[in-house]
Structure 1
């Protein structure tokens, strides 16, 4: 087997990332240290537009993760496991914030294993100070003028502040 190169490990980190938080960013950074390449895969739901338009979410993720050399953003619709097959990913990365996250993530991992045994699911746990942070929490705090900025990367903070000029100044975006 001499002369053959080791297999490449392409990992997918799926989510809506609406918006990407520092907890998400930590998971991307840690996954990037474990795998050859990490694809942050933004789920596209035609009936669920989200807080940030899809294209803006992609741009914010690219800005937040720009320092990670083996990262790229992509989008998918349909089954995550089909997207993994399409791009040749061997690993799905999921973050577990609290015990309540485990049961649905475990069920999804088992379903994915049943659909495609060659794709493994790896769970990463964020630092304690980020275990309670979620995109919906960030949106809720920002919508009331609260101090959400410590939970998100700087580009996201600027974009969210622009959405709420009545609280944070600046010009309102559509």
Structure 2
């Protein structure tokens, strides 16, 4: 069984994330969505809320793709999480050159820690490349319409969080 790990904070999960998840399912039999605790980022949603959002949003894709998809919270090193869940590959989404520069450094370090785990980069579809959770939260906080960046359920959660 080929297992892949797709890590992130998913605060919140966006259509860009979902695009990467759907395409990552073509590469593996089991996709673990690693929901990072990452206290340094000061997430808008709690870990439990983010895991629940991920589970709700990916539930239908397991059936459609035949890939088992599970959410897995983690706070340890990414490479340790990959080993923990039995992943042979780490999936990372790329939006722009700036993403690649950061990811390139991470791959180098992860390869030094465990050279048996490969990193695979997937580009989001063009319509989703500009979507970033940080920007989605900022637009929503300022009263902007983020419905074209997230699913209806996540859109509702954002509006509720910001008192709308």
TM range (shorter): over 0.9
Paired position in structure 2 for 1:110: 108
CA distance in 1, matches of 2:99, 2:80: 23
What is the count of residue pairs matched by the alignment? 159
DSSP-derived class of the 2:53 partner: helix
**Once the 2 structures are TM-superposed, how far is the Cα of residue 46 of structure 1 from its aligned partner?**
4.2
Paired position in structure 1 for 2:21: 28
TM-score by length of 1: 0.88
CA distance in 2, matches of 1:107, 1:142: 31
**Once the 2 structures are TM-superposed, how far is the Cα of residue 108 of structure 1 from its aligned partner?**
0.3
1:15 paired with 2:13, answer: no
Runs (4 or more) in structure 1 with deviation over 2 Å come to 45-49
Structure with higher Rg: it is 1
Return 5+ residue gaps in structure 1 as ranges: 1-7, 169-174
CA distance in 2, matches of 1:112, 1:163: 36
Deviations 1:66-85 (A, max 9, x none): 11222110011120101111
The answer to whether the 8 A contact 2:32-2:85 is kept is no
Question: 1 or 2 for the larger relative contact order (CA 8 Å, sep ≥6)?
Answer: 2
Return 5+ residue gaps in structure 2 as ranges: 63-67
DSSP-derived class of the 2:73 partner: strand
